[in-house]
Structure formats: C-alpha cells, structure tokens
Amino acid sequence: MISALLMACGSSKPVAESTLDVTKAMNVAKAHLENSLREHTDKTLFPRSTKSDGSLNAVPARDWTSGFYPGSLWYMYDYTKDKRWADSAAAWTAGLESEKLNTHTHDLGFILYCSFGNGLRLTGDADYQAILLQGAKSLSSRFNPKTGVIRSWDHGKWQFPVIIDNMMNLEFLFWATKVSGDSSFYKIAVTHANTTMKNHFRMDNSSYHVVDYDTTTGKVLSRGTHQGYAGESAWARGQAWGLYGYTVMYRETQDKKYLDQAVKIAAFMLDHPNLPKDKVPYWDYNDPAIPTTQRDASAAAIMVSALLELSQYVKAKNNYFESAKRILKSLGSKNYLAKPGTNQDFFLMHSVGHKPAKSEIDVPINYADYYYLEALLRYDRMGQKK
C-alpha cells in the first residue's frame, strides 16, 4: 500500500549475501516493466503471474491483484520522475475505475488504493480522489457491526469469513476519513483491527488465515486456513500481511497497542527457527517438508517493506532495519531477481500463491514485485540515514 514514508524460491539453499544496490535493482525492474509495456498492450487484462506452462497469466479488473501492475508503474514514476512512466501508469489505472462500485470484494484497497491512490499522491488528480472515495464507500458496505469486521469472501463454506489479508485494506479507509472528514471510515478500520487482533492471533503471535463469524451473535465459529499448510500452521504471506497491517494501524492512530502487536508479529517471524539464513521465508513456517519446500518471495517483499517502516517507530534497540536490509540483499541477488527478458517480465522469481489448490507455486507474482519496489523506495529514502 501507499506509505506515509513515501508520502513525506523454490530453492532451500541459503543465499550468499550480496551488495545492496538500489540503483541496480531499480534498473532491473525498469527494464522488466519496459519490456512488459511493449509486449502486453491489452489494458483490460492485467499481468498477474505465470501459468503452469510458463505463459503469462493476465487477469481482468475484478481480480484482487489487478491494482499491483499499475501501482508498480506509479512507483517507477515516483523513482524516476520521468513523465513517460506517469503516462503508462495512468493508462493502465484507468481500466480499474469500474471497481469503485464493486461491493462484492474486500480487496478494494489492493485494487484501487495501490493504483488510483498512488496516482493521486503523485499527480493530485481530483478525478482519482472521487473514484477512491466511492471505492471506500463500497468497501465499507461489507462491514458488519455485529461481527465488528469487514467480510472477506462471499463464497465458500463459511458464514462470515474474515482473512488476515483484510488488514491491508484499512489504510484505504483511514485515507477516506482524512479526505472526506467522515469518521465512519476510521471507526470501521479501528473496529476491524481490534476484532482481528482479538480473534486471529495465537499465543505465539502467529495468525490464523481465516476466522469465521456468526452474524447473529458475533461469536467466532471457526479458525483455520485456506491457503496455508494446515489450520494451525503459520502461512508465511499471512504473517506478512499482519505485520504490515498493524504497522500501518500504529502510523494512522498512534495507538501503542498496534505497535506492540506489530512488534510481536515481527518477533515471531524473525526469530522463527524455520526462517532461512537469507530471511526469505518458506511458503509456510510449519510445512514439514522444510527445507525442501518452496520459498515465498512475495511474503519476503511484504515483510521487508513493513520492517523498514516499523524500524522508525520502535525507539528501543531492534534488528528490523538490518533484517530488512538483509532481505533486500537476498531478493536482489540472482537467486530471486530475474534477468530482464526472462520471467515473463516480472522482477522476482519464486513466489507461492495458493499451494493447497495447486495454484501459482514457485512462480513470479505481481504483488511480490509491487512490494519489492515499495521497499526499495523506502530504503532509498531512509536507508542511508541509519
């Protein structure tokens, strides 16, 4: 997502530490995006990942990942200040406007805030603001006062499912209150975060993926996973969503309980005995196949961006910045960063989408690229001050 900081693998083998060169990494990303823009011109289908045969998997605007490709183009404009990138980003962002009226998904933060939100931040386009405010209203329609959370899915075996990923959409609601003056968005975000903090986390500060609620009583019906190894396992990307989400909650509210929660989640991840030396996690911390199971570069990219921000909020001595630097070095190495002209023009290799469904296993995925760019920008702007 858009940060306040910006506003002011398959292999289990440890990766040798490389030099962290933001300019070099950004140039690689730029080359990939330039190739992608030349080769993929249908702006109704957004590059998401690769299919099992290695071909490009492109998705329509309604897909939850559609906002990450335009968002990456906006981040490249943010870095280069070259108007060509703004023009490309705007052209790809335009195709997402219809989603402002989509009340059937909780992912409007990903779809709209990563695209139009970055566009608004960088251009001040008033039309973008109007689109975003309508999108925030659509997202808010999924909040249930009885359960105290925003509904995630409208499908499946659950009565009122909420996934940890939903923490990532709250930043969008805080923005809406700032711009509109309507405190209802803020209240929904805080209530959702509080309810999630109460019901999603285990004693070791890892989180469940899915919590199902009773819409009559508001009580928890079940806890488990949909994309992780097992109901009681720690799905890596889910842990990263939680870390990022509660770091943002502290930034937006200055309520220390959210900072404390983020610190607990960070400790679970960074101190976990199954975290590899290069700090790019396995797709699930509890997969019994470790160390021969897949890594998840997307979880690492989300995690590193969150750690960079968290490092600025914790006054006591911590290892967040150095850990983030190590992750960025790993992701920027040949083990994860693809050469231009390969990898279907995505930057990072070795992400995992939904292994239990045998979907997107050890492939490039657009949200890995998006959060990797965000982390590089954050490091570039605050890293050398450390």
* Residue pointed to by tokens 């309507």: 182
Structure tokens at 47: 């590059």
Q: Which candidate in 78, 165, 296, 362 is catalytic?
A: 165
Structure tokens at 207: 């989180």
The answer for residues whose C-beta is within 8 angstroms of residue 330's C-beta and 6 or more apart is: 15, 17, 18, 278, 279, 280, 300, 336
SS3 152: coil
Q: CA–CA distance from 294 to each of 12, 78, 331 (Å)?
A: 7, 32, 15
Residue 12 and residue 276: Cα distance in Å, rounded? 8
Neighbour-count burial of 66, counting CB atoms closer than 10 A to its CB (0-12 exposed, 13-18 middle, 19+ buried): buried
Q: What share of the chain is helix, strand, coil (3-state, %, to 5)?
A: 55, 10, 35
Both ends of the chain: CA-CA distance in Å?
23
CA triple 217-218-221, angle to 5 deg: 95
Q: CA–CA distance from 163 to each of 113, 181, 208, 275 (Å)?
A: 19, 28, 8, 23
Q: Which candidate in 78, 107, 284, 287 is catalytic?
A: 107
Q: Is 165 a catalytic residue?
A: yes
Structure-derived torsion over alpha carbons of residues 365, 370, 373, 378, reported in degrees to the nearest 10: -140
Annotated active-site positions, please? 107, 165
